[in-house]
Amino acid sequence: MDFGIVAKVCKESPIHRPRPGDSNLRFAEPESTRLRKMPMIANPDNDNNYDGPMVFIIIGKGYETDGGEGVELHVMLRAPDDDAAVREALNALSEEGFIEADLDQIGMLTEVPSDEPHASAYKGALEGEVAIIRFR
């Protein structure tokens, strides 16, 4: 999925949810994903019915200084759904000193990665850690 999420990490709040008038957190959605009326689906396809562990990978860029050059990131973590995964990833990035993050893609891993550093990050995610992989 491509969410095109831009979020400014706000250290004052433990949960990073946008609220009307909140200037510390910005979520920008592509025009095509803004509110629109959709027909009801008789049998919804719910990704949360996956039988294995729900380990998410979030791909994006993090900024440690205002106006600074971003660092390419992969964040791997276990979460009950993609919304919780995004919240936990933003909290972890904030704790690591990032002040802003552009989260471009989120997906659920259905196979164990074989290459490092993703294999170790996957193992850590299964144990409840939030793994942040930086690419320089």
Helix (H, G, I), strand (E, B) or coil at 116: coil
- Pairing of the two strands 100-109 and 131-135: unpaired
Angstrom distance (rounded) from CA 132 to CA 121: 8
* Residue 114: inside a domain: yes
* Residue 75: inside a domain: yes
* Per-residue model confidence as pLDDT tens digits over 33-86: 444 445 555 554 555 566 778 999 999 999 999 888 999 999 999 999 999 999
Number of domains in the chain: 1
Residue range of the domain that includes 106: 1-13+52-129
What global pTM score does this model have?
0.65
CA distances in angstroms from 56 to 59, 73, 78, listed in the order given: 10, 13, 6
* Per-residue model confidence as pLDDT tens digits over 75-129: 999 999 999 999 999 999 999 999 999 999 999 999 999 999 999 999 999 999 9
Angstrom distance (rounded) from CA 116 to CA 9: 28
Total Cβ atoms within 10 A of residue 107: 15
* Residue 38: inside a domain: no
